[in-house]
Amino acid sequence: MLEDIEYIAETSKTQKPARWYTRLWRACLCCGCLCNQKKKLQPCLTGYEPVGILQRAASTGDLYTLEQLINSNHFHIDECDRKNRTSLHYACAHNHVDVVTLLLDYDCSIDIQDDEGCTPLIKAAQEDNLGCICVLLWVGADPHLKDFSGHTALHHAVLRGNIATVEKLLEFNADIEAKTEYGLTPLQLAICENDYQMAEFLTSKGANAHSVDDLN
């Protein structure tokens, strides 16, 4: 846990005033975003193993250690690893909504991009982590940002076939006609993936059905 670092005994433990979204993840329980989810430690995602102690605490959902590290003044809230991933990236990748809200309460950067151009919102969409997506969007994460392949969080949600995530992103005005580096809109991407249920849903939400003709 903390045995590999030394703390200054006189470190201030002054309480920070709670922000309006500090316990937003609990509110998500009421609206169904986190229904039936049980808190448990998850194995690290392949290719997404944390290196720094701050990122490790975020990836395992260790709130106590994370807050102690932040308050020790030995670590910056937006400290990045060698792939430019912050603790918020790891919390979103591993679906720790309570860690996400804690980091946001300490004013972490919400739209920072890693070495693949992924924001925390995009990473949450890649892993179907709807609870994290809800919190990020409520606090102001930009759904229009693209990774270095031109994919927005909406494109990734379509690739995952996750209608609930797509609906939430559209609720926060994600661009339904955004194009990847190959010029594919979310609807065209759904057709390419033979996901006709997703295609029908996007069309019902206003996607340009005529754009499908461009695939032929």
For 48-108, the DSSP string reads: B---SHHHHHHHHT-HHHHHHHHHTTSS-TT---TT---HHHHHHHTT-HHHHHHHHHTT-
By C-alpha distance, which of 151, 159, 149 is closest to 128? 159
* Res 216: pLDDT: 62
**Separation between Cα atoms, residue 112 and residue 103, nearest integer Å:** 13
Indicate the residue type of 116.
Answer: E
Q: How far is CA 4 from each of CA 7, 26, 30, 53, 69, rounded to the nearest angstrom?
A: 10, 33, 39, 9, 12
pTM of the model: 0.79
Equal fold, 20-142 vs 143-216? yes
Q: Where are the domains of the chain?
A: 20-142, 143-216
**Cα 79 from Cα 38, distance rounded (Å):** 29
Is 118 in a helix, a strand, or coil? Answer: coil
Encoded amino acid at 69, one letter: L
Using only C-alpha atoms, the chain has a radius of gyration, in whole angstroms, of 19
pLDDT of residue 13: 37
7-10 LR contacts (CB < 8 Å, sep 24+): 7/68, 7/72, 7/74, 8/72, 8/73
- Tell which residue, 152, 133, 129, has the closest CA to residue 141: 133
Q: What six digits make up the tokens of 152?
A: 């927005």
Whole-number pLDDT of residue 47: 64
CATH code at 143-216: 1.25.40.20
* Superfamily holding 20-142: Ankyrin repeat-containing domain (1.25.40.20)
Q: pLDDT per position in the chain (216 positions), as tens?
A: 444 433 333 333 333 444 544 444 444 544 444 444 433 334 445 466 777 899 999 999 999 999 999 999 888 999 999 899 999 999 999 999 999 999 999 999 999 999 999 999 999 999 999 999 999 999 999 999 999 999 999 999 999 999 999 999 999 999 999 999 999 999 999 999 999 999 999 999 999 988 776 666
Q: State the burial class of residue 214 (Cβ atoms within 10 Å of its Cβ: 0-12, 13-18, 19+).
A: exposed
